[in-house]
Structure 1
């Protein structure tokens, strides 16, 4: 009877090691399956994240390129609109038929550029807001073109006063509405770019956090995979941030190029009109005076003819620097085109102060300097108009300043002839 319990005890002792050997194998299988599942899930996560980021990067790049092209076209449209209006205004200002015809040709040219920019915009993929803005512009252009034709005909018939009256009373409100519509379109494109970039940045960060959160919840192998995924996503996030910085720099460069003269770095005609509008508004609100000063170089064409355009360009750059040195840092100095410059003096209206500014400009410009072995002594003719003494409208002031500048030029030539 004692042998029976002994045999049972021996059989149990022999069975225990077999049980202990089977348990680790089961755990190993489970761990292998678990790690395989984790690795598979992580692989799916990594692949999905990479594909999403690449798709997002492509979408952002496509959106930025498309919106940026629309911004460029809106800028071109705005510049062409300003130039067309200016050509029309000059038709009513100049008295020489040949000059009138030249400005009329410029008027036709800039009208073609307006249509070209608008057709390019219309050919692109547009949303509801963009389509509505173009429709608004179509309605405005119908009236503007009709007024342009009437004004141009009046100017060519010698009825300049009636033409200027039409510009001031009928054309100017529609022009401002048209420019405001183009500005709205440009700002809308910039806002959409920023919205797309913000959405891309948020989506990238969410993807990164999800991947990191999932990776921190699994074993060391899954954590290692999550870390590698995080690094990969970080690189794509850096790429998007670099694109954003490049876009901001490019947008700033486009804005600067649209508002500044590329040769001299001064404000161009578009920015000059904008600053003059702001100055007149502030002068009216604060009961200040403001002066518009036209500066036209004397005998600039012979310099180009004799020494070449490179020397002429260098001369314009030197003149630009001297003009800046002749006025206050708060004043606006602009190059209107060719050898024509303009200065906005806010808070200046007394004849004595204006005379001091003009004398300082002449004194600075007349100093001789040497370019490529040629000694040049530039000179200029100035003309000014004071708000509100000479008028309260921008066109009236510009016309008065232009008339006085040409009167000064004629007086200088008459004195030289005498």
Structure 2
């Protein structure tokens, strides 16, 4: 496996920058893609924060944008510290290397536990909450064998397959991805498992604020993190409509390997995994199927497309925003159908910087939808 020096790449944020990053990502209408574009455009989170009111106003916001205060950010950082956790930025050395390469990766992660596990290549194992005995045993076998081969196991701390995978991976290292804040683990019966993961040099990860209780719509975000952290995802049992299939499809979108364990056509818990196999997932009947396919990827590295240029930045970028006629031209090119940003640039003939800035304005005003693959569309409820 790669040594520490080979994988620890990046530049540490200053305390002041970390507070500004947290304020920015916690402010209204600022998701990971918007965060990246703001810092890449303005050079720093502090400058971006100062520009938020003007940008959202130019985008046609109906009310003032909520910007998180320094005091609120400091309180969350202090809450993390009391809990034994901290925040790591996407460009910092301890940020999971594979996740760093995902478009729309969280700019800040709350982490608690043994950070060196992020330096090992990871494999996701997911499946049914209502797992069969054989499914749980198979997940545990895969997890143990992956640990012996030098991989960490990433999963979502859910009942069933997730629980079996985490427990079997305690010796080799495991990452629990939470749908809520780090201090709000779910389900409640797995709190003791999370404590055990912490004692055994594992890691807990979340992009949600401290105190945030998970809701149904937060679990797909958790699944996205599982897929992003992992080089491949093993689906052991999954119904036709399940979160595990969401994780598998996201993994495929990220260019990760997707493994599926075949099951009985008579068992509803296997309908989803059998569908994945029809769609080209790797047939998995032993640990060797996973290890052989992963071997060429275990040294996966490379530049991070989503890394933002904060430390040592130039805050003094001079830029003239587009005038009203240029803004109107860009907005008129948008509609309810998702389009590529490059197509907007070609269609309008305007500079890319102008197009990106107007999209930021619309986004911060709550008038833009961002879709998978970097596509955008206009909200039509205005």
Q: TM-score, normalised by structure 2?
A: 0.22
Q: TM-score, normalised by structure 1?
A: 0.21
